[in-house]
Amino acid sequence: MTVESTAARTPRRASSGGKRTSASAKSAGASAKKSASAKKPAKDAGAGAQPELVQLLTPEGERVESPEYDKYVADVTPEDLRVLYRDMVMTRRFDAEAVTLQRQGELGLWPSLLGQEAAQVGSGRATREDDYVFPTYREHGVAWCRGVDPTLLLGMFRGVNNGGWDPNSNNFHLYTIVIGSQTLHATGYAMGIAKDGADSAVVAYLGDGATSQGDVAEAFTFAAVYNSPVVFFCQNNQWAISEPTEKQSRVPLYQRAQGYGFPGVRVDGNDVLACLAVSKWALERARTGEGPSLVEAFTYRMGAHTTSDDPSRYRRDEEREAWEAKDPIKRLRAYLEAEGHADEAFFAELDAESETLGKRVREVVRSMPDPEPMSIFENIYADGHALVDEERAEFAAYQASFADAPADAATGGEVK
Ligand SMILES: Cc1ncc(C[n+]2csc(CCOP(=O)(O)OP(=O)(O)O)c2C)c(N)n1
Ligand SMILES: [Mg+2]
């Protein structure tokens, strides 16, 4: 059983508040021990109020109570916790392989998710199969939870295709590099869902830097005014390339939501259980007609922005070291061990499984065929477009200008 399937059992259109069943004796999510640093003010990223941080697992892996959010993980079993742990380990291993592949010239570029596994797995596992997800370019952990084969994420970064997967297979949209624009796509999609009368929800991922984009302001406005079933899941990883969050906003990011008229919550983005709980809260709001929410997952980009970036030029090692102590995988492991929910054999098997994944990713990427040059013009517009036709013809003529060009190169590229 997966956490996702747990979510899928939640009745649709269930009225919010007080209707969820209380935790069973063996449900791991309920075993909160002490109350909490949930009320402890977090290190503020902006000026003004000291924000509260929703936290269910401390960095040391101790379960703390949250009167508001415990109920959203009350049905999480030890098996579910192991699934969450596995998701994070597999995702990190995949990501490490991709970085290595880029360093060896097999990929053109790679945006690592290192450090953001809990934010992505917690929110990803909160979604239901019929929900629709609009990612940025860094949501490899969410893709994993949605069941997208990770090797498919690499085609675009190898330059062999323009996307790599069918968004409708897993309700996981293509990666979007144009900062913030996916929040508009998500809001439009959510408006459509509402018009259809479906009770699915939409999740739009965005970064801290993206909150400065006009597209995001428009998406927030439309989502609020149309009361759309969309969750804006902002991973505040403290940096937008070399720009720190405090240069993006005068207030903590989650407080931006208030001005648009919907709630915003800051969650410990390195605590997978808290991210699961807060995401379920936000998704339930969306499903039950309560409209959009903003979740700010307070986390840290442990690596470079992309493999083209060198963070040592703009941030100090001590900052990274401080965040290492809050590692999302270490803290869930500590909790699993303390509660006796996982033994050495589990961790050893997972290590072996993740190595197998790394090997598979490497083999698949290296054997990806080069595309036909003209295929870059495919799948752009459903009904064609004059400008694309012109560019296709120009490129075909260019191809044909080479001495060793195949005889049909100037035909406009009838690519099979
Ligand atoms: C509209 C637009 N402007 C600028 C860029 C260049 N750019 C790429 S990533 C990035 C920073 C994004 O930071 P953030 O939203 O915090 O996401 P993160 O990369 O930290 O996940 C910028 C400015 C872009 N891709 N699109
Ligand atoms: Mg960022």
Render pLDDT for 140-187 as a digit per residue (tens, 0 to 9): 999 999 999 999 999 999 999 988 899 999 999 999 999 999 999 999
Same-domain status, 304 and 387: no
Is 140 a residue of the active site?
Answer: no
Same-domain status, 175 and 38: yes
Q: Are 140 and 95 in contact (CB under 8 A)?
A: yes
Tell me the CATH number at 246. Answer: 3.40.50.970
Its pTM stands at 0.88
Q: In which band, very low, low, confident or very high, does the pLDDT at 376 lie, cut at 50, 70 and 90? A: confident
How many Å apart are CA 81 and CA 87, to the nearest integer? 10
Same-domain status, 78 and 182: yes
Same-domain status, 354 and 399: no
Same-domain status, 401 and 308: no
How many Å apart are CA 33 and CA 342, to the nearest integer? 19
287-331 tens-digit pLDDT: 999 999 999 999 999 999 999 999 999 999 999 999 999 999 999
Give the number of the ligand closest to the Cα of residue 180. 1
Same-domain status, 34 and 73: yes
Q: Are 136 and 185 in contact (CB under 8 A)?
A: no
CA 234–ligand 2 middle distance (angstroms): 9
In a domain, 359, yes or no: yes
Q: Are 70 and 56 in contact (CB under 8 A)?
A: yes
Is 173 a residue of the active site?
Answer: no
Same-domain status, 247 and 141: yes
* Cα dist from 131 to 119, 176, 303, 338, 339, whole Å: 18, 18, 30, 34, 32
How many Å apart are CA 143 and CA 130, to the nearest integer? 14
Same-domain status, 359 and 382: no
Considering only residues 264 and 415, tell me which one the structure prediction assigns the higher pLDDT. 264
Report the nearest atom of ligand 1 relative to the CA of 306.
Answer: 19
Q: Are 91 and 120 in contact (CB under 8 A)?
A: yes
Given a cut of 70, is residue 45 above it in pLDDT?
A: no
Half-sphere CA count of 376, side-chain side, radius 13 A: 12
In a domain, 284, yes or no: yes
Other Cβ atoms closer than 10 A to 400: 15
- How many domains would you assign to the chain? 2
Cβ(45) – ligand 1 distance below 6 Å: no
Is 305 a residue of the active site?
Answer: yes
Cβ(300) – ligand 1 distance below 6 Å: no
In a domain, 9, yes or no: no
Q: Rounded mean pLDDT of 88-108?
A: 98
In a domain, 16, yes or no: no
Same-domain status, 378 and 358: no
Nearest CA to ligand 1 atom 19: 240
Nearest CA to ligand 1 atom 11: 240
- In this structure, what token pair is assigned to residue 15? 């009225």
Q: Are 64 and 55 in contact (CB under 8 A)?
A: yes
Write down the pLDDT at residue 71: 98
Report the nearest atom of ligand 1 relative to the CA of 241.
Answer: 11
Give the number of the ligand closest to the Cα of residue 305. 1
Catalytic residue among 92, 185, 266, 305: 305
Parent domain of 401: 373-411
Same-domain status, 311 and 343: yes
Cβ(293) – ligand 1 distance below 6 Å: no
Cβ(138) – ligand 1 distance below 6 Å: yes
Same-domain status, 207 and 354: yes
Mutual orientation of helices 117-126 and 78-103 as an angle, nearest 10°?
130
Same-domain status, 314 and 399: no
In a domain, 203, yes or no: yes
Cβ(209) – ligand 1 distance below 6 Å: yes
Write down the pLDDT at residue 104: 98
In a domain, 7, yes or no: no
Q: Are strands 239-240 and 243-244 parallel, antiparallel or unpaired?
A: antiparallel
User: Ligand 1, residues 233, 241, 256, 302: which to mutate, most atoms within 8 A of Cβ?
Assistant: 241
How many Å apart are CA 68 and CA 255, to the nearest integer? 18
CA dihedral (184, 186, 190, 196) positive or negative: positive
CA 391–ligand 1 middle distance (angstroms): 28
Q: Are 287 and 199 in contact (CB under 8 A)?
A: yes
Lowest mean pLDDT among 13-22, 33-42, 200-209, 365-374: 13-22
Catalytic residue among 128, 158, 301, 341: 301
In a domain, 138, yes or no: yes
Rounded (5°) CA angle 183-186-191: 125
CA 174–ligand 2 middle distance (angstroms): 19
- With tokens 């259109």, the residue in question is 13
Closest by CA position to 290, among listed 342, 246, 229: 229
Write down the pLDDT at residue 408: 61
In a domain, 3, yes or no: no
